[in-house]
Amino acid sequence: MMSRMVERFLPSNDPIKESVLEWTVERDAKDVIKLLNWVNETQSFREKKAMILLIKDLIDELQMAIDELAKLQ
């Protein structure tokens, strides 16, 4: 799981949702990094464009997960 910078005094109202959201952030961030590396390595502009669309979708999902996590805190 993602390490936390600050521990809270009170637990989340929904620890399962929080755990899923943290996992989503961690997984999506790793996938974005992987895709960014692949964009740099591929020669095909069609593949680059497809990867950039996937990166945009993952970033949207990351933003949603972070927003939801902020609501739990």
DSSP 3: P
Q: How confident is the model at residue 15 (pLDDT cuts 50, 70, 90)?
A: confident
The reported pLDDT for the residue numbered 5 is 45
pTM, full prediction = 0.78
Mean pLDDT of 13-21: 89
- Nearest CA to 73 among 27, 9, 25? 9
Q: Which two tokens stand for residue 1?
A: 């799981």
Task: Return the H-helix or E-strand segment holding 29.
Answer: helix 15-41
Q: How confident is the model at residue 10 (pLDDT cuts 50, 70, 90)?
A: low
Taking only the tens place, the pLDDT of each residue in 44-66 is: 999 999 999 999 999 999 999 99
